[in-house]
A and B are shown apart, each in its own frame.
Chain A
Amino acid sequence: MSVMKRVSMIFKAKANKALDRMEDPRETLDYSYQRQLEMLTQVRRGVADVATSRKRLELQMNSLRQQQNKLDGQARQALGAGREDLAREALGRKATLQTQISDLENQYQSLQADEEKLTVASQRLQAKVEAFRMQKETIKATYTAAEAQSRIGEAVSGISEEMGDVGMAVQRAQDKTAQMQARAGAIDELMASGALDDVTGTPRDDIQAELDAMRTGPDIELELQRLKGEISGGPTPQIESGAGGAASDGASHAAAEQPQAGEGA
């Protein structure tokens, strides 16, 4: 038998079970309506859960992107200082982060699509529940139990099919959200434990340490030389080379002349 027919028969069997449960078919209306309200609550909760999960992913992606920018800056700095090995290391870590970010981006898009679908489903169900509520009152007021049978059957199978559909969507969204929460939690834990420190470039990371050492190292040497020169009264050594040379030259001359200016006053 065809796929389309079999699926619809399974849905109908579900609806019939609900109808058979009640002695007075009109009771089925109230029972079904209660179920509908519960389902509406579930769907709305589902939408909220998916949104929360999506926002959490967004935060994680942002912080990974920040780390990536930092590594990028470190690579430039290292390259500027002629340390290609360090730059390579920083870029390598940046690439590792990119894999993680791409993975999160895919999950994000998938969650966003789920959220939109669930929102539409929730609006559709709400419209149907409202229509059902009105039909229910009409049927109860107008028909005897026996007469109401077929009308109730139509309404209940129609709405129970919708609830089955929405119920599956909510179930799927919940499963997926739970999976994502677990993965997001794992990343958060890794970050908190410091295991990702080296990769993500917190202040303690080794690339930064080397870069800092390279930057402060020569400065200290030059400072020492300058102090030695002052003590021995010899010519002040050029502190900086390259483009900054002229400026610092002028500055050191000014500094050397200052004591004389002070004496004259």
Chain B
Amino acid sequence: MIVRILGEGQFGVEESATSELNALDSALEKAVNEGDELAFRPALTALLDRVRALGTPLAADVIEPSDLILPRADADVAEVRSMLTEEGFIPG
């Protein structure tokens, strides 16, 4: 599957990594839902680090929609929340 980290690009990740990434994503989701800034940072970092470690960067000239998209590394809770609710957040 293809995973995009916003601001970094796309990575090809084996399907077998799905459950591991889902577990990390659940922790992130919990932090976002509870507005827990302290838990949010390590949760996001852990998830992004895992994607970078498991994935292979896609070539620049490949045009493929991603299966999963992750917030950029320095995003904060408020930003991720507005990303999930406001469609207008993404230009274009």
A253 CB–B CB distance under 8 Å: no
| A161 to B84 Cα, complex, angstroms | 15
| A11 to B21 Cα, complex, angstroms | 20
| A164 to B69 Cα, complex, angstroms | 12
B87-A154 in contact (CB<8A): no
Give the residue of A7, A128, A160 whose beta carbon is less than 8 angstroms from that of B84: A7
Give the residue of A155, A164, A167, A171 whose beta carbon is less than 8 angstroms from that of B63: A155
Give the residue of B70, B90, B92 whose beta carbon is less than 8 angstroms from that of A4: B70
Chain A residues whose CB sits within 8 angstroms of the CB of B4 once the complex forms? 8, 161, 165
B92-A14 in contact (CB<8A): yes
A40 CB–B CB distance under 8 Å: no
B65-A3 in contact (CB<8A): no
A204 CB–B CB distance under 8 Å: no
B7-A169 in contact (CB<8A): yes
A11-B84 in contact (CB<8A): no
Can you identify 24 A-B contacts, CB atoms within 8 angstroms?
Answer: A3-B32, A3-B84, A4-B21, A10-B84, A10-B87, A10-B89, A11-B69, A14-B92, A15-B65, A35-B92, A124-B9, A124-B60, A127-B59, A131-B63, A155-B63, A157-B65, A161-B65, A163-B92, A165-B4, A165-B7, A168-B6, A168-B7, A168-B89, A171-B91
| Residues of chain B at the chain A interface (Cβ within 8 Å) | 3-4, 6-7, 9, 21-22, 25-26, 28-29, 32, 59-71, 80, 83-84, 87, 89-92
